[in-house]
Amino acid sequence: MRFELIGKNVNITERVQEQIEKKLSNLDKYLIIDGDTIARVVVKENPNDKKIEVTIPTKVGLLRAEVVHEDLYAALDLAVDKLEDQIRRQKTRLNRRHKESLAETFIIEEKEEEEDIPVRTKMVFAETMDLDEAIMQMELLDHNFFIFTDEESGNIAVVYRRKSGGYGLLETTKE
C-alpha cells in the first residue's frame, strides 16, 4: 500500500508520517490490500482540535474514516479502529451471505437429482494471482471454488472450501 499524505494548516513531520504508515500498514493482516492501492490521508489542524480523514479503496469496497480529536495520534488510533470495524463488518457480511447461499445450494442440488439436466459449459479465464487473493475472490464471488493461475508456479490451480472448514488447493502440473 502506498500513502498520499496531505496536510491542511499543519506541517506533516517525518514522525507523524511514520506513525500513519505504520498504523495503516497493520490493516494488511485483516484484508488483502494491493501494493498499488493508494491510501489517502488528510490531516487538518483547527484552532481547538485535529482532524484526520483516511480513505482506502479496496476490492471489497471503499474504507473511509473521519475523526476529530485534540491529539493527532489519538485521532489516528480512532481512525484505524473505525477502519478495522468496517473490515470486520464486511467479512461478517461475506460469511452470512455464504451461509445462506450454501443452504440454498443444498435445496437446488436435491431438485437437480430429481430432474435430468444437460451439462452446462462455461469458459473461465484463469487470472494470475497468489493463493490469498484467490481465496478473497472466491469469498467475494460467493463460490465454493475458484480457478486461477498460480503466481509462483505459473500453473492452473483451484482453491476450494472444505466441508470440514478451511480451504483446499488443487494444483496442476504440465507433464
Q: 41-59: per-residue pLDDT in tens?
A: 999 988 889 899 988 887 7
| pTM score | 0.53
Residue 136 has pLDDT above 90, yes or no: no
pLDDT at position 47 is: 86
pLDDT at position 117 is: 64
Residue boundaries of the structural domains of the chain: 2-90, 128-171
Query: Is CATH 3.40.1350.10 correct for 128-171?
Result: no
Stretch 52-72: mean pLDDT, rounded? 85
Q: Tell me if 2-90 shares its fold with 128-171.
A: no
pLDDT at position 160 is: 93
Reported in sequence order, the residue ranges of 2-144 that DSSP labels E, i.e. its strands, are 2-8, 38-45, 50-57, 62-69, 128-129
Q: What is the CATH number of domain 2-90?
A: 3.30.160.100
Dihedral sign, CA of 96, 36, 159, 126? positive
pLDDT at position 115 is: 57
Query: Using one digit for the tens of pLDDT, what is the confidence trace for 79-119?
Result: 989 988 887 887 777 666 666 655 555 555 445 455 566 77
